[in-house]
Amino acid sequence: MTTLSEGAAQTEQTSTTSPIPTSEKQRQSLASLLNKITSTRQQRAEEGEGSSTLSLKSKIEAEVKVYLSVPVIKSEADPLQCFSRAFLSFFSYVCVCLCTDVSAQEQPELFLKKLQQCCAVFDFMDTLSDLKMKEYKRSTLNELVDYVTVSRGYLTEQAYPEVVKMVSYNIFRTLPPSESNEFDPEEDEPTLEASWPHLQLVYEFFIRFLESQEFQPSIAKKYIDQKFVLQLLELFDSEDPRERDYLKTVLHRIYGKFLGLRAFIRKQINNIFLRFVYETEHFNGVAELLEILGSIINGFALPLKAEHKQFLVKVLIPLHTVRSLSLFHAQLAYCIVQFLEKDPALTEPVSAVMFLGELEEILDVIEPTQFVKIQEPLFKQISRCVSSPHFQVAERALYYWNNEYIMSLIEENSNVILPIMFTSLYRISKEHWNPAIVALVYNVLKAFMEMNSTLFDELTSTYKSDRQR
């Protein structure tokens, strides 16, 4: 029987032209790879793994023979730019074989070939075209996700450019314009990405690649550079919330692993926010970027750099002025609270009163689910304001308990908020110099006692016993 390599040689002697955009060298490489896979399957079958393996082997070999019987084009055309259906149909059979079906030494080579195949991008707006090929690619992407999750030793230096290339081919694209110029994220349904069946797997693969124990930023920085980050940030304007959620994770991982890109990422986020505030007032990913910034701010070293203080004053505070504030107010409030926790001196008494006023406006429209996410850092800061020796600051913070909606949020979460506030309130009720503040504190303590008397009594008892020690 003619072997795969012999078939390839015979084909080369009789070939002249073909629409298949591969060289003879590429064809022989694929044939050799497939020969190894089928040999492995045959060996397993002979060891008693069943006839189904042999059946698949025969099917693959038959397809290879059909492929190799097609004449070869002599040019070195780029297969990523001009995949023919015959070539892709053949190569899809390579995808049927899992990376684990070849020896450990051969897996990195097969991994690279699968990455190269997944660079092919399909038109999902045409729901009837290339259905088989789309399914093959989806299967291969799933396989790649599983492989990078459990395998070791696959991440050779040659893999880094191929991974970044595959990810770039799939995710970087011109985002479609909104169907309506008057798109309202609060009222209108977002336009979901048609290619999400593939796109989601590409993002999942890339995240696991970045999180791999074998990942080496020193190698990857040649490929994950400023240009890559800029293109990534542009995608945050996607209307699809699923994509923005994945992008948030990807950018956060890149920020954590690439120290040399951190200042650049912060600067570009600043630019996005400034354009949003002063020019466009439209950017879909403000909430997600603020969420990333919340954890970035949390990691700022003390004392805060002038650059970081400028960011608070020039970028975060002006975000309060845009019409779509309600879409990201929870994340914005969290960022500001993080700044104030880092450096309470940022709030002079007058600006502290203004801050508390702005914060109350945000809390007036916050959803209960969003409130839960920020309640702990928020009330730690409010507790500090209540304890301020400047009576106007303390008074403004205590006025929150006159707001019916905020009171309803506090009551629903009193088991979390009361322990945060109790010590400050109890101490102020005994020690504050201003009788008006003491009266307000008594009212707040009374409200807490009515909300949750059991917890209030426990905290009172604990406080008194601690004082007696």
**Model pLDDT for residues 408-457, shown as the tens digit of each residue:** 999 999 999 999 999 999 988 887 778 888 899 999 999 999 999 999 99
| Average pLDDT estimate for 25-43 | 59
Among all chains, which residue has been given the structure tokens 């790649």? 144
Range with the largest mean pLDDT of 45-49, 129-133, 231-235: 231-235
More confident residue, 411 or 49: 411
pLDDT over 70 for what percent of the chain? 74
| Average pLDDT estimate for 380-402 | 88
Residues 6 or more apart in contact with residue 83 via CB below 8 angstroms: 21, 120
Angle between helices 85-96 and 24-44 (to 10 degrees): 30
pLDDT at 256 exceeding the cut of 50 = yes
- DSSP label at residue 279: I
Cis amide leading into 344 (omega within 30) = no
Q: Which of 36, 43, 103 has its CA nearest to residue 64? A: 36
Residue 45: predicted pLDDT:
52
Give the Cα separation of 406 and 403 in Å (integer). 5
pLDDT at 347 exceeding the cut of 90 = no
Give the Cα separation of 420 and 409 in Å (integer). 15
Residue 54: predicted pLDDT:
43
| Average pLDDT estimate for 35-41 | 58
pLDDT over 90 for what percent of the chain? 40
Give the Cα separation of 105 and 224 in Å (integer). 27
Q: How far is CA 270 from CA 256, 277, 281, 283, in A?
A: 18, 11, 14, 13
Judged by average pLDDT, the poorest of 41-50, 152-161, 220-229, 415-424 is 41-50
Mean pLDDT of the chain: 79
- Whether 425 and 444 have beta carbons less than 8 Å apart is answered as yes
Q: Which of 31, 25, 83 has its CA nearest to residue 61? A: 31
| Average pLDDT estimate for 314-321 | 85
- Whether 353 and 312 have beta carbons less than 8 Å apart is answered as no
Give the Cα separation of 328 and 464 in Å (integer). 41
**CB-based burial, 225-250: b 16+ in 10 Å, e otherwise:** eeebbeebbbbbbbbbeebbebbbbb
pLDDT at 226 exceeding the cut of 50 = yes
| Average pLDDT estimate for 123-137 | 80
Give the Cα separation of 182 and 179 in Å (integer). 9
- Amino acid of residue 61: E
Residues 6 or more apart in contact with residue 354 via CB below 8 angstroms: none
**Which contiguous run of DSSP H or E holds residue 226?**
helix 226-234
Backbone torsion region of residue 276, taken as left when φ is above 0, otherwise alpha when ψ lies between -120 and 50, otherwise beta? alpha
| Average pLDDT estimate for 348-361 | 75
- Whether 442 and 429 have beta carbons less than 8 Å apart is answered as yes
Give the Cα separation of 407 and 389 in Å (integer). 24
pLDDT band with cut points at 50, 70 and 90 for residue 337: confident
- Whether 80 and 169 have beta carbons less than 8 Å apart is answered as yes
pLDDT at 125 exceeding the cut of 80 = no
Angle between helices 329-342 and 368-386 (to 10 degrees): 30
Residue 179: predicted pLDDT:
60
Q: Which of 198, 46, 28 has its CA nearest to residue 120? A: 198
E-state strands within 127-181 = none
According to DSSP H, which parts of 276-305 are helical? Answer: 286-298
Residue 405: predicted pLDDT:
93
Residue 318: predicted pLDDT:
85
* Cβ neighbours of 104 (radius 10 Å): 12
pTM, two decimal places: 0.59
More confident residue, 317 or 376: 376
Residue 85: predicted pLDDT:
42
pLDDT at 141 exceeding the cut of 50 = yes
- DSSP label at residue 344: G
- Whether 302 and 260 have beta carbons less than 8 Å apart is answered as no
180-201 pLDDT, tens per residue?
A: 555 555 556 778 888 899 999 9
Residues constituting the chain? 469
* Cβ neighbours of 383 (radius 10 Å): 17
Q: Which of 290, 280, 201 has its CA nearest to residue 242? A: 201
Residue 115: predicted pLDDT:
94
pLDDT band with cut points at 50, 70 and 90 for residue 132: confident
Residue 32: predicted pLDDT:
64
pLDDT band with cut points at 50, 70 and 90 for residue 351: low
pLDDT band with cut points at 50, 70 and 90 for residue 259: very high
- Whether 353 and 392 have beta carbons less than 8 Å apart is answered as yes
Give the Cα separation of 111 and 98 in Å (integer). 10
